Amino acid sequence: MTNKGFIDVTATITTVQGESYSGAGLGVIVVSQSQDEYIVDTCTFTDCVNTGNGGAIDIRLTNGGKASVINSQFTGCQANAYGGAIYADIQSGGILTINGQCKFTQCTAQNNGGGIYIQINGAGSKLIIGDGAIFDTCSSQSSGGGLEAQVQTGAQLVFEGDCKFINCSVNSGSGGGISAYCNNEGSSIRFLGELKFDNCSSTQSGGGASIGSDDKASIELNKVTCVDCKGRQGAGLNVLANAYFSMSGKASFTRCECTGYGGGIYFSIQGNAEIQLTGEMEFIDCIGNYGGGLSIYSSQIISVISSSIIFQNCTGTSGGGMYMFLSNIETEIQINGELSFDNCSGTNSGGGLYLEISRSQLSFENKCEFLKCKSGNGGAMYLSINFELQSSFEINDILIQDCKALINTDYQYSQSGFGGGIFIAGTGVYDVSSKMLDFSKMKIYGNTADKAGQSLYVTMPNVIEWCRTGTSGEYVKGNYSDITSDESELEGIPVGYINFYFLTQVDIIKDQRPLEF
């Protein structure tokens, strides 16, 4: 069959089964009554082209109308606008089901949604994608190389099982595999199985997927696997969450690479958001300027991360493994799971972890382990904190072993080589009575720094008062021994970081001291 037209379904069930389409697809399908349904079953669509939307199928569902695409194959389909294979506009309770035996191969769209483009509006409106759907080498010009979905005003997008995106890409937008956004209260996107992204890419955000929620909408992810994905930021997964976001299954990112924030995942939080991460996460061989593995940039968030997180061989400029920038009084992040940083590196600051905290609260409730990490300042961890803006930081158990602070040779002179384990860049006067900076449970072994502070280097105006708080400097030294340890393990200088940055090396050497007072 090669006919293409406008089909208005009025019968209760209309079925197209076992047909093959080449050059032209089914055209526009309209289902506008709740008792009506259109079914496409075991059909093949090859090189179908539409100068408008939907290279193979353009579906319009309203008033509870239903449609299903079952066990069908789409190859080389193209749309000059939206939806290389399928375009769907679902309104007022319409339901579209695409079962898991469907496959989209080499489909393209000049705008959005190389394989599928979906608009879903209104309570009861829904798109269901079944277990096993595959998008292979699909692409779009703007966003959603495999699939793009816009979910609004109480509508739902549900992935019932696993879904795979292979070699999908976008040329000038976001979401190499998926671009999906939901808005308004009651709207939701739920991924119940595993999302797999293999070698997907975007020129902007989310090489694998770019997803977002706003205005009391919600997104729920289960399991995510990203391998060899690339993008400007969030090479594996880019999350714009200004409402509710959760991830409950294992998240794995391998060899994902970006030039901005988050080689594996980037969370950009600008509104009032709640984030729940409860599944194990791992980042292996990932690269990103700000957070080789994971980056969180937030101005307003309440988040609980109860999963364990592993960073292995990740690299960046600031935060080889993880980067966090927190800047609002209503931001509170609690990390209950264990963190492990193994052989991570940051060119400038924080080989494993980079933290910048202003008017925010951050607590690490479980063990943090740094092994063989390196950076210019803070081989394991770099902490920049503004004490005058109601900032709060808590860390309960930290192991730092064989970490290094190296002189950065990229510049004629740079303030680098300080704090083989931790570098603290303090702004303002620290209230020592708050006991917020508590490293009493810190364990340090075999760390080195090219300049000073083999395991810890501190820049803050009242560092001396901090060292004298408690019993024998307990909040500073961890397992450091006044009798047997080398004084160069813990060093600091009584100036704020901004002033420290502009000091000459001669002045630094003159004013810095071991942290034994």
| pLDDT (tens digit per residue) in 232-265 | 999 999 998 887 889 999 999 999 999 999 999 9
Instruction: For tokens 């319409």, name the residue.
Output: 94
Q: How confident is the model at residue 411 (pLDDT cuts 50, 70, 90)?
A: low
Mean pLDDT of the chain: 91
Q: According to the model, what pLDDT value does residue 471 have?
A: 80
Residue 271 pLDDT > 80: no
Instruction: Give the three-class secondary structure for 133.
Output: strand
- Beta strand residue intervals within 55-170, DSSP E: 57-61, 66-70, 73-75, 78-79, 86-91, 95-98, 103-105, 108-109, 116-121, 126-129, 133-136, 139-140, 147-152, 156-159, 163-166, 169-170
pLDDT at residue 329, as a whole number? 65
Query: Which is higher by pLDDT, 477 or 153?
Result: 153
State pLDDT tens for residues 41-86. 999 999 999 999 999 999 999 999 999 999 999 999 999 999 999 9
What percent of the chain has a predicted confidence (pLDDT) above 90? 69
The dihedral over CA atoms of 327, 332, 336, 340, expressed in degrees to the nearest 10, equals 0
Supply the pLDDT for residue 327.
80
- pLDDT greater than 70 at residue 10: no
Determine the pLDDT at residue 97.
97
pLDDT tops 60 at residue 449: yes
Closest CA to 79 of 120, 34, 123, 113: 113
How much is the pLDDT for 304?
77
Using 50, 70 and 90 to split pLDDT, how confident is the model at 1? Answer: very low
Nearest to 421 by CA among 398, 403, 446: 403
Give Cβ neighbours of residue 341 (< 8 Å, ≥ 6 apart). 311, 320, 321, 322, 351, 352, 353, 368, 369, 370, 371, 373, 380
Residue 465 in 3-state DSSP? helix
- Report residue 214's pLDDT band, with 50, 70 and 90 as the boundaries: confident
Query: Beta strands 513-514 and 490-493: pairing type?
Result: antiparallel
Annotate 171-214 with DSSP letters as a single string.
SSSS-SSEEEEEESTT-EEEEEEEEEEES-B-SSB-SSEEEEEE
Q: Which residue has the higher pLDDT, 201 or 278?
A: 201
pLDDT, greater one: 351 or 301: 351
**Mean of pLDDT values over 1-25:** 74
Q: Give the residue with greater pLDDT, 149 vs 4.
A: 149
Q: Is the pLDDT of residue 328 over 80?
A: no
Where do runs of H (alpha helix) occur along 4-80? none
Looking at per-residue pLDDT, the higher value among 78 and 1 belongs to 78
DSSP 506: H
Tokens read off for 495: 């100036």
d(CA 35, CA 31): 9
Q: Is the pLDDT of residue 2 over 60?
A: no
Q: Which two tokens stand for residue 480?
A: 């450091």
Under the banding of pLDDT at 50, 70 and 90, the label for residue 408 is confident
Cα end-to-end distance, the chain, whole Å: 87
Distance CA(344)–CA(353), nearest Å, equals: 9
Confidence (pLDDT) at 47: 98
The pLDDT tens digits of the residues spanning 129-144 come to 999 999 999 999 999 9
- Tell me the per-residue pLDDT of 348-378, one tens digit each, with 9 for 90 and over: 999 999 999 887 888 888 899 999 999 999 9
